Amino acid sequence: MSSEKSGVHKLLAEGPKAINLGLEEFAEALATQGVKVVHVDWSPPPPEAQELSDLLDKLL
């Protein structure tokens, strides 16, 4: 349980270090607050990849 709990506790204790997906402005606002942030140049996954991932979700 201790390792399971550490995710939330680490976030609150250390503050956010973020990966941003979507609005780039959110990453910029974090950077201006001195937060370490990496913005993902995201694009929709190809339909086949999504189908495969959905299938895996069902199987696993």
Closest to another protein by CB, 8 vs 59, is 8
**Residue 23 C-beta: closest distance to another protein, Å:** 4
- Comparison of 24 and 55: residue with beta carbon closer to another protein: 24
- Least distance in Å: CB of 30 to another protein? 7
- Evaluate whether 41 touches 22 at the Cβ level (below 8 Å): no
Which residues neighbour 19 within 8 Å (Cβ) at sequence distance 6 or greater?
Answer: 37, 38, 40
Binding site for another protein (CB under 8 A): 1, 3-27, 29-30, 32-33, 35-46, 50, 53
Sign of the dihedral through C-alpha 59, 40, 29, 9: positive
